[in-house]
Amino acid sequence: MFIGEYTYSIDAKKRLAIPAKFRKIFGKKAVITRGLDNCLFLYSIQEWKKLAEKLSKLPLSQADARGFARIMLIGAMDVDLDNAGRILIPDYLKKYSFLKKKIIVAGVFNRVEIWDENKWQEYKNKTETEMGNIAERLGELGV
């Protein structure tokens, strides 16, 4: 599915390009929503339906599950891709993810993540140090 890291910038008309490789999967429409760690998630329509189904089945009684589902569902918005494969990001999502000008667009399996460049660097540094040794983890996975 989606794979790879790309750098784009939001232009004067607030448009953000999606990598050509990803466009072919999305088609003309996609769903954007609040992600984790202050990034945004972009799903294809099919994937979004699957995810929404799962989220709706989370037990209403559990506060944390309910919160998780809320974040994902309430923030969601359907977006169109223009002829050049660009999308418009709603203001409230732009605020949520601190998007400025330089943006990282990254494929992670069944979703695309959208990060402000600074936030991405921050996250990557933090995670790489916390993660300790990649080699050990790979070992645990039997790779």
Partner DNA sequence: GCAGTTTGTGGATAGATGTGGATAAAAGTG
Partner DNA sequence: CACTTTTATCCACATCTATCCACAAACTGC
Rule CB under 7 A: which residues touch DNA? 6, 8-9, 11-14, 17, 19-21, 80, 82-86, 88
Residue 101 per-residue DSSP state: S
**Contact call for residue 103 and a copy of itself (CB under 8 A):** no
Of the two residues 18 and 72, which places its CB atom closer to a copy of itself in the complex? 72
Token match 């003309």: residue? 28
- Supply 21's token pair: 């490789």
- Measured distance CA(143)–CA(68) in Å, rounded: 32
At 124, which amino acid appears?
K
**Contact call for residue 51 and a copy of itself (CB under 8 A):** yes
Q: Which does 102 bind (CB under 5 to 8 A by kind): DNA, a copy of itself, none?
A: none
Q: Residue 29 in contact with residue 80, Cβ under 8 Å?
A: yes
> Shortest gap between Cβ of 116 and a copy of itself (angstroms)?
15
- Measured distance CA(18)–CA(21) in Å, rounded: 8
**Contact call for residue 92 and a copy of itself (CB under 8 A):** yes
- Using CB under 8 A as the binding rule, the residues of this chain from 14 to 43 that contact a copy of itself are 31, 36-37
- Supply 138's token pair: 């790979």
Q: Which does 85 bind (CB under 5 to 8 A by kind): a copy of itself, DNA, none?
A: DNA
